[in-house]
Amino acid sequence: MNRFFEFFEFSWFGPLIEVGSSYAEQIDGLILMVLIIVGVWFLAAEYIFLHFILKFRAKPGRRGEYIDGKNKRHKRWITIPHLCVLVFDILIIVVSFRVWHDIKMDLPDDPDGVVRVIGQQWAWTFQHPGADGELDSPDDIFTVDELHVENNKTYHFELQSTDVLHSFSVPVWRIKQDAIPGRSIMGWFEPTKTGRFDVQCAEICGFGHGVMAAEVMVEDAETHAAWVAANTPVAAASAPGGATPASQ
Ligand SMILES: [Cu+2]
């Protein structure tokens, strides 16, 4: 059964947009599958349509035929394509449910890290847990429009909004998740490529929506540790025994 699903995982969109997360290929495979199925049927339907338009065009001495759709042979032109559409619909539903389950429903246990992503008009705030790996502790690192993560690590993200609907979108990771005021939405990602990539807001969220762009820095272990060390708040870093609430 797994072989069946693996068949639909490929990254033919690589030349168009980089593949930067563990599940990007699943999304690409699904989009490509839909494109091929819809594309083949589109071409077939247009071909038949144009073919008949030309074949049965007006000719001197030929009378038009009135087709009322009651003839069994005529009805087949509806029922057979209809059945084919149903079969392909089921294929799309099966494969897309699998992708939905893996990406949206099945949060990996024991992630290597967790980050909080907060959207507001019109910027992204990122809360990194710092050296202790715990959010909401004194050594948390807050940044605006700049998310720092380590390559090949699994992260949970907690997505929030302080005002209106936003959408956290990282194209190279194939992530797009709405942020809803009053809710904390959990998701996950695993970057597989180091570099600097675009983060955008994918939900019209007001006048400044167009400038609500940010970046994600996917770093190797060393660079990331150095960034954490360099950006840990002074009060937390200098406290005896590291980060404790008393150091605030
Ligand atoms: Cu926004």
pLDDT of residue 39: 94
pLDDT of residue 236: 66
What distance in Å separates the CA atoms of residue 89 and residue 118, rounded to the nearest whole number?
A: 37
Residue 83 CA to ligand 1 center (angstroms) comes to 42
Residue with the two structure tokens 């699994």: 154
pLDDT of residue 242: 47
Residue 122 CA to ligand 1 center (angstroms) comes to 6
**Residue 243's pLDDT band (cuts 50, 70, 90):** very low
Residue 109 CA to ligand 1 center (angstroms) comes to 29
Residue 145 CA to ligand 1 center (angstroms) comes to 12
What distance in Å separates the CA atoms of residue 203 and residue 209, rounded to the nearest whole number?
A: 8
pLDDT of residue 16: 75
CA dihedral of 49, 55, 60, 62, whole degrees rounded to 10: -80
Residues with CB under 5 A from ligand 1 (ion): 166, 201, 205, 212
Residue 229 CA to ligand 1 center (angstroms) comes to 30
pLDDT of residue 248: 38
Residue 210 CA to ligand 1 center (angstroms) comes to 8
Q: Give the closest residue to 174 by CA, choosing from 34, 36, 32, 26.
A: 26
Residue 162 CA to ligand 1 center (angstroms) comes to 11
Handedness of CA 224, 226, 231, 235 (dihedral sign): positive
What distance in Å separates the CA atoms of residue 171 and residue 25, rounded to the nearest whole number?
A: 12
The predicted-structure confidence for 82-141, as pLDDT tens digits, reads as follows 999 999 999 999 999 999 999 999 899 989 999 999 999 999 999 999 888 888 888 899
pLDDT of residue 163: 93
What distance in Å separates the CA atoms of residue 244 and residue 234, rounded to the nearest whole number?
A: 13
Residue 123 CA to ligand 1 center (angstroms) comes to 7
Is the predicted pLDDT of residue 148 greater than 70, yes or no? yes
Sheet holding 141-144, edge to edge: 141-144, 123-128, 113-120, 155-161, 185-189
The model's pTM is 0.79
Residue 211 CA to ligand 1 center (angstroms) comes to 9
What distance in Å separates the CA atoms of residue 47 and residue 164, rounded to the nearest whole number?
A: 47
The predicted-structure confidence for 166-210, as pLDDT tens digits, reads as follows 999 999 999 999 999 999 999 999 999 999 999 999 999 999 999
Residue 11 CA to ligand 1 center (angstroms) comes to 29
Residue 167 CA to ligand 1 center (angstroms) comes to 6
Residue 223 CA to ligand 1 center (angstroms) comes to 29
pLDDT of residue 189: 95
What CATH superfamily classification does 113-236 receive?
Answer: Cupredoxins -  blue copper proteins (2.60.40.420)
Question: 159-186 burial by CB neighbour count: b if 16+ within 10 A, else e?
Answer: bbbeebebbbbbbbbbbebbbbeeeeee
pLDDT of residue 240: 53
Residue with the two structure tokens 């502790």: 137
Residue 71 CA to ligand 1 center (angstroms) comes to 56
The predicted-structure confidence for 68-86, as pLDDT tens digits, reads as follows 888 888 899 889 989 999 9
**Residue 4's pLDDT band (cuts 50, 70, 90):** low
The predicted-structure confidence for 9-63, as pLDDT tens digits, reads as follows 666 666 678 889 999 988 988 988 899 999 999 999 999 999 999 998 888 888 8
Residue 23 CA to ligand 1 center (angstroms) comes to 24
